[in-house]
Structure 1
Amino acid sequence: MVMSTLPPLPLPDEMRQWDEASFALGLPEVMLMENASRAALRALELCRVPLAGRRVWLFMGSGNNGGDAAALARHLLDAGAVPTVWHTRPLGQYRGACGQHVRMARRCGVSFLPVGRCLAAEGRKGQEMPHLVVDGLLGTGFHGELRPEMLALVRHINALRREAFVLALDVPSGLDAASGRPQPEAVRAHATVTFEAAKFGLVLPESAPFTGRLITLPIGIPLAVRRTAPCSARLLDAGILGHLPPYRPQGYKNSYGHVLVVGGAEDLSGAAHLAARAALRAGAGLAGALVPCGNGLAVRNGLAEIMVREMPGSAPGLWPSLPSGNLRLLLEGSMDRVQALVIGPGMGRSEAAQALLRALLACAERPCAVLDADALVLLSREPALLRELREQDVLTPHPGEAAALLGTTAAQVQADRLHALRALCALTPACVVLKGAGTLIGQQRAQRLRPVCVSPWDVPSLAVGGSGDVLAGCMGALLARRAAHPAPTPESDCPVDALTLAAVGVSWHALAGRAVAERYPARGNLAHELADVLPSVHAGHDGRRAGTGEDGIC
């Protein structure tokens, strides 16, 4: 399965399960802690931080992160650095694997001092300021708000970063590993080395000011453990473009599917044009638009390849108000040889548009559909229609549209995007793409949420009017291309399900934004340029992973 090839993103409870399952297999905790410390040393090498003769302050908390810091101090000493470990509790109270590493480090000659002396100017007399600071105060288990004494340490480390390089172990202290948000402040590291897998919150855009460069390195959690305790989320990367439906030998236009965009009402023709244009640029063999009478030329907008069908019986620019039976008959005639619908770009929100959406979803022979923009607002007015959707359909709400579907506010959606995605998935069998910085993709099947896909890209070039229409058209092309040839080919495990195709579409769209940013680094790009660059982005990412491997996510 394609999803299983994506890097896992454990939530804090899932990471704890991995640890406990590893211990149950017989892996000593002291060994995993040793492996974590060596991974941290490797991270410093990757960041080209000099060690010989450099003063290093390591802040050691009371949990496993503290043990990682103590073990790292021993390796730093061997590398020629001058480490000092500032401990937050009496050394005699460190037990288990952490205590064992404290004792080993002390026997090797590492200096340990109570952290209170670090905070007091009097206690720092004779101590020169560090070149390197290691944050080992709090780990993935932290939640709630920082206690006053820990908040003071976080602020102290942040003051030191003006002169010293700061490395956070696993998670910057004060950062919630599930949400990626500071509670209420967090260490602002230059780099974070996270162990075995990036934690869910660490790849969300709001965490970037605190994680700095994010480096993921293994520490020896067995594959058997990760398979028996799978994570609820996966990280998208450029490698997923290797799962784009393949080009077929001796293929012709119908081999690549036909996309029909339903939209382009009065004064909204640009949205339908962009969706159809993106479908063609994403490889659809044919792209057309079903539009109100009189709007065909505006939707085509000089692109002769967009086939336009105007709905008769309406005032110019408006959808017809036909009896539902006649409307359904008309639409079913329009579905001939269409493999995917893109419903909503420039559709409008009139009563006639509502009736049109209702009739479209009721078509027995309708193909799979991407529902975007106005279609989502119309769905929010008639929630029963959400159950008319199918597993091969895709919803693409931005936070405002998600709020309308959930009966809440955009601010509440943004405050807990994972919760909002889960709530949306509970409303419909369709795949849901919650757009925005750190796009989330999910789908519920048999009352269970499939692994959520997380986009790590925050691309300012995508924040432009029409960008969502481009994404919808791109996804429509992927659905159409797959529907044209539903059986996998021998040379490809070509994805069938909407969740995987949505993940491919989101990644492709984000990488298109990054490509456009090379030409317009200060923004100023137009949405049609996102569509036009899709083919070259595909050619430039032939399945090789970007941002993973030994040096992790950067």
Structure 2
Amino acid sequence: MRRAYSVETVRAAEAALMQRLPEGELMRRAAAGLAVACGDLLRRNGRVYGSRVLLLVGSGDNGGDALYAGARLARRGAGVRALLLAPDRAHPGGLAALLAAGGQVVDGPDGLGVLDLVVDGITGIGGRGGLREDATGLLHTVTRDRTPVLSVDLPSGVEADTGEVHGDAVRADATVTFGTYKPGLLIDPAAEHAGALRLVDIGLGPELPEPPDLEALQYADVAALLPAPGPESDKYRRGVVGVVAGSERYPGAAVLAVAGALHGGAGAVRYVGPGADAVIARYPEALVHAGPPSEAGRVQAWVVGPGLGDGRGAEAAVADVLAADVPVLVDADGLRLLDAETVRTRTAPTVLTPHAGEAAALLGTAREEVEAGRLAAVRELAARYRATVLLKGSTTLVAEARDTPVRVNPTGTSWLATAGSGDVLSGLTGSLLAAGLAPRDAASVGAYLHGLAARHGSDGAPVSAQDVAEGIRAAWRDVRAG
């Protein structure tokens, strides 16, 4: 599992560790790992010996890491030059090490020629706000030939704790981070700036507290959570999920939500709504009922909302489902039709699955604010509605009302930006709720499988929601296989 901590927590852990280490040892460890990563990137594009490396060096320890790593590269035969953005505040030890190893300091970008690598050591995790205008201009100049950029700890200009980007920021091809991940490396829009991530172990682990601020499940974590039928399983033990979806205008939403539930491992699916004929035509194993949901039969969880529209009875159907004493997932039109106080006072778990626009409506704010501050938005939604919230997007986030780490899904892909994909996710997550997974786990595993399924479904070509649904089983097998 990838775990991320706030800057304050990282600083405290570093301070505790440095008390037990010789002076400068922590920076030496960071610089050694950074130099190895730079070397790997240079070899991938050519060689280390004779390569041309430019260090963009800010003040403080971030610039010091870059300088010490540059010294190591210079000793391996690379031509390393440093451009100091704050010459009077450059790390003295790092600068001395670079010069002693044969590196050079340059006054500006003129005359640098073609570069093989630019190392971004401008601000790191201590920076606030976007890049200054002079740094932005410099960066554009030295990368105009598409020179690879490697950032030290965090792309300069992004917010480490929130993933927000206020102004210009470095867009790195790779980022080497030290000790632990930072939230901004995993959450968009900042994550889009980080490129490939590499974590360097500097011994910080024992100093980091539990729980982390953010976590991202990996294959082994998801495999451990996937439900599996036992010898005594029947359809009820495997989980029966009820789906209230679709309308005369949006019959496909019913089919896609049922598809997600069936491919997600539900023992049975009870469908309630006007799309029964379309559902049975595609999935004859589905159990259908005209409604209301409370009279459809036994379920272990409900999914309500996809394609429900504004037709007669839609609001009543949402209210009927929310009155059930089982976990309920609310999506799409259901989010617009729900009563907030009803959600807050439910005794059974509730999962809300908005995209940014729906989240903005629930919060009474602008969509742009949600997209710019995704972490704050998902936490506020979970607290305000006392629910588990899955905020869909380029990096899907899952938060609970209680004090547990926010989870970020690492399998997201732009192929999921297609009509009906969210309906599939709702059915899939609902099936996991019905199987007995806790709401946070069901939402996290559902998002993870959903992302993998899109990759299977696309096969390098444009993907449809039906492709995503059919890719769930392959995703499930991949996770099981590790």
**TM-score, normalisation: structure 2:** 0.91
Q: Distance in 2 between matches of 1:367 and 1:413?
A: 30
Whether the aligned pair in 2 keeps the contact of 1:362 and 1:388 (CA below 8 Å) is no
Aligned residue for 1:110?
102
Cα distance in 1 for partners of 2:92, 2:137 equals 25
1:377-427 Cα distance to aligned partner (Å, 9 max, x none): 102xx3222213346321111112112211223222212111211121112
Q: 1:34 to 1:435 in 2, by over 3 A?
A: same
Q: From the superposition, tell whether residues 367 and 230 of structure 1 become closer, same or farther in structure 2 (CA, over 3 Å).
A: closer
Q: Does 1:456 align with 2:410?
A: yes
| Identity fraction in percent | 35
For the structure 1 residues 134 and 19, does the alpha-carbon distance in structure 2 shift closer, same or farther, using more than 3 Å as the test? same
Contact 2:129 2:165 in 1 (8 A): no
Report the CA distance shift for 1:29/1:148 in structure 2 as closer, same or farther (over 3 A).
farther
Contact 1:257 1:284 in 2 (8 A): yes
Is 1:14 the counterpart of 2:22? The answer is no
Query: Which of 109, 122, 143 is the equivalent residue of 2:128?
Result: 143
Provide the residue aligned with 2:213 in structure 1: 232
C-alpha change, 1:129 and 1:12, in structure 2 (3 Å) is: same
Alpha-carbon displacement from aligned partner over 1:189-240 (angstroms, at most 9, x marks no partner): 332212223322223353465333222222221x2212x2642111233333
The reply to whether residue 101 of structure 1 matches residue 94 of structure 2 is: yes
Which amino acid counterpart does residue 269 of structure 1 have in structure 2?
Answer: P
Q: CA deviation at 1:28?
A: 4.6
| Alignment match of 1:340 (pick from 278, 283, 301) | 301
Query: Which stretch of the first structure deviates more once superposed, 276-285 or 141-150?
Result: 141-150
Alpha-carbon distance in 1 for matches of 2:116, 2:320? 67
Q: Which residue of 2 aligns with 1:216?
A: 199
Q: Letter of the aligned partner of 1:239 in structure 2?
A: A
1:540 aligns with 2:481: no
The runs of at least 4 aligned residues of structure 1 exceeding 6 Å deviation read: none
Residue 165 of structure 1 and its aligned partner are, at CA, apart by: 3.3
What is the distance in 1 between the residues matched to 2:388 and 2:183?
Answer: 20
User: Who is 1:201 aligned against?
Assistant: 184
CA contact (8 A) 1:56 1:81 kept: yes
Answer with 1 or 2: which has the greater Rg: 1
Residue 548 of structure 1 corresponds to which residue in structure 2?
none
Q: State the Cα distance separating 1:516 from its structure 2 match.
A: 1.0
Partners of 2:74 and 2:249 lie apart in 1 by 69
Residue 88 (structure 1) aligns with: 85
SS in 1 for 2:310: coil
Cα deviation code 1:429-449 (max 9, x no counterpart): 22100111111100012xx3x
1:244-293 deviation digits (Å, cap 9, x = unpaired): 1123134332331111112333233221221112111111111111125x
**Cα gap change, 1:45 to 1:542, in 2 (>3 Å):** farther
Relative to structure 1, the CA distance from residue 367 to residue 128 in structure 2 (aligned partners, 3 Å threshold; closer, same or farther) is closer
Q: Which runs of 5+ in 1 are unaligned?
A: 1-5, 312-329, 483-495, 545-554
Q: What's the CA shift for 1:99? A: 2.8
Unpaired runs of at least 5, structure 2? none
Q: Which of 47, 58, 63 pairs up with 2:60?
A: 63
Give the drift of 1:333.
4.0
Deviation at 1:335, TM superposition (A): 4.3
Tell whether the 8 Å contact from 2:129 to 2:167 is kept in structure 1 after alignment: no
**Which residue, 324, 335, 352 being the options, matches 2:313?**
352
CA distance in 1, matches of 2:166, 2:282: 52
Residues 360 and 56 (structure 1), Cα distance of their counterparts in 2 relative to 1, 3 Å cut: closer
2:415 & 2:135 partners in 1: Cα distance? 38
Q: Which residue does 2:288 correspond to in 1?
A: 308
Number of equivalent positions:
478
Residue pair 1:440, 1:452 contacting (<8 A) in 2 also: yes
Partner of 2:445: 504
Query: Which amino acid letter does the alignment assign opposite residue 88 of structure 1?
Result: L
- Aligned partner of 1:186 in structure 2 is 169
SS at match of 1:427: helix
Q: Which amino acid aligns with 2:397?
A: L
CA distance in 2 between partners of 1:360 and 1:478 (Å): 18
Tell me if the contact between 1:277 and 1:306 (Cα under 8 Å) persists in the aligned partners. Answer: no
CA distance, structure 1, for counterparts of residue 481 and residue 302 of structure 2: 27
Whichever residue aligns with residue 468 of structure 2, its letter is: L
The offset of 1:517, in angstroms, is 1.6
Aligned residues of 2:250 and 2:308 also touching (Cα < 8 A): yes
| SS at structure 2 position matched to 1:453 | strand
Amino acid at match of 1:298: A
Q: Cα deviation per residue 1:354-384 (whole Å; 9 max; x = unaligned)? A: 2232233224xx32111111111102xx322
- TM-score, normalised via structure 1 length: 0.80
Partner of 1:467: 421
Counterpart residue number, 1:258: 240
Amino acid in structure 2 at the alignment position of 1:59: L
